[in-house]
Every structure is written in C-alpha cells, then in structure tokens.
Structure 1
Amino acid sequence: MKSSVQNTKLDVNAATAEQLVSIKGIGPSKAAAIIKYRNEIGGFTSIEELVEVKGIGQKALANLKLFLKV
C-alpha cells in the first residue's frame, strides 16, 4: 500500500494551483504562495524547503509530505 501512495504524490515543482488546492491543508492562498516561491527560487530541491513558504510550518510540512514530492 505504501508504494501506491508514493506513486500518487504530486510533484511540488510541477503541480498547478488547482492540484495543490486539492490537498488537505492547502487553500488558494497557500497554493499561490507555493507557486510564487517555486518561481522565485527556480524550483524546490527538497520537500523540506516548503517551510520557507509563508504559512507552512513543521506541522503542515509533516502532512504535506504524505501528498507531495520533489
């Protein structure tokens, strides 16, 4: 079962705002902030970099790791 979760994770560097909003804990403003940050830095190199996005802390990151990948 774990491998099927791995296969369904969204790539944080390629996901659209609509795809990001489909993840629990990400609303339109967080999705926009993720995309803005991604564009400014040229893409995430690790999922842990999400904590650099305004509004995403360690607790949110722990949840997002279940649904996102780099």
Structure 2
Amino acid sequence: MLKRCLMFLSIALLSAASFAAVEVNQATEAELDSIRGLGPSSTARILKAREQGAFKDWADFMVRVKGLKPATAAKLSKAGLTVQGSPYAGTP
C-alpha cells in the first residue's frame, strides 16, 4: 500500500513539473527550447531581443521577436510560456 502511494505521489510530482510555466524573461536557452513550438532559431531570436531588456508584456514580446503572431503566441502560452508571469490573453 505504501509503495503504491509513493509511486502515485512521484508520478503526480513529475506531471506537475512538466506543466510548469517558463518565464520568457528569465528562461535559459534550454528552458525555451523545451517549449513546444520553439526551436533553436526562434529561441535565438528571443534571446537576442531580450538582450535589449526584459519584455514588458505579450504585445512587446510579439513586436520585438520577428515572426511571432497572435496565433503563435497563443500556442506558446498554451505550452507554458509566460511574459511577466502572464499567459497570452489575446485572441488567436
């Protein structure tokens, strides 16, 4: 019984960790790459734009990162990406 409870708890913790939000202003290259929909080139564009300063909000993020449209922002947000701790609130 105890063994089953521990196994269930371990699975629950791993599941929760896999859905953790990734803050674009603090994320490492590896953390950004872990977001479904971001690859090496888009991650590089994000990191380059972030060198100019933190993203203020999703609108600022989409203006400063080439190729980022509302539909893409919605998908990235659904995958766990946040800007200033907030998910994308726009309409895809």
Same fold by TM-score greater than 0.5: yes
Q: Is 1:43 matched with 2:54? A: yes
Greater C-alpha radius of gyration = 2
Q: How many residue pairs align between the two structures?
A: 65
Gap regions ≥5 residues in structure 1: none
Percent identity over the alignment is 36
Secondary structure (helix, strand or coil) at the match of 1:29 reads: helix
Quote the Cα distance in structure 2 between the aligned partners of 1:63 and 1:48.
15
Q: Is 1:56 matched with 2:68? A: yes
Q: Is 1:29 matched with 2:34? A: no
Give the TM-score, by structure 1 length: 0.78
1:47 to partner: Cα distance: 2.7
Give the alignment's Cα RMSD to 1 decimal. Answer: 1.9
1:17 to partner: Cα distance: 1.1
Give the TM-score, by structure 2 length: 0.62
Residue 62 of structure 2 aligns with an amino acid whose one-letter code is: V
Structure of higher RCO (CA pairs closer than 8 Å, 6+ residues apart)? 1
